[in-house]
Amino acid sequence: MIAFNYETNFNLKNETTTEKWILEAVEEEGFEVGEINYIFCNDEYLHKINVEFLQHDTLTDIISFDYTLGKLIGGDIFISIERVKDNAIDFNVSFEEELHRVLIHGILHYMGYKDKTDEEKQLMRAKENYYLKSVNL
């Protein structure tokens, strides 16, 4: 089950289509969805989580807490809509594209993809781009 929660003045345009897209990506990677909660918030909300739980005093676009067990993925994915908007401008892409990139990025982490080294970042970006081709923006 995928749930979309809102702690800011934002709503996904089409939750059903987005959920279907995520489920298809998870299935293609050989995993299944347990319970995934997306929490859309603002910078202040996510910054507080970043400081409290990760001891990082910085702004970020996404924080995910991974509860995956084997091939059953689950967790809480917090996304700052303010950061996504700013990053879309910085990367010269639409808000929708950047939002979907972040949505799938969190899921890819749950399926074992990392982004600490240059090689890991390259593979993560390739996977993001692959799945972005199949989403209706």
To the question of whether residue 47 is assigned a binding role by annotation, the answer is: no
| Cα torsion through 12, 15, 17, 23, rounded to 10 | 120
Q: pLDDT tens track of the chain, all 137 residues?
A: 999 999 999 999 999 999 999 999 999 999 999 999 999 999 999 999 999 998 999 999 999 999 999 999 999 999 999 999 999 999 999 999 999 999 999 999 999 999 999 999 999 999 999 999 998 75
pTM for the model: 0.93
- Cα–Cα distance for residue pair 137/120, rounded to 1 Å: 26
Q: What is the pLDDT of residue 135?
A: 87
- Cα–Cα distance for residue pair 3/13, rounded to 1 Å: 14
Structural domains for the chain: 2-132 (3.40.390.30)
To the question of whether residue 100 is assigned a binding role by annotation, the answer is: no
To the question of whether residue 105 is assigned a binding role by annotation, the answer is: yes
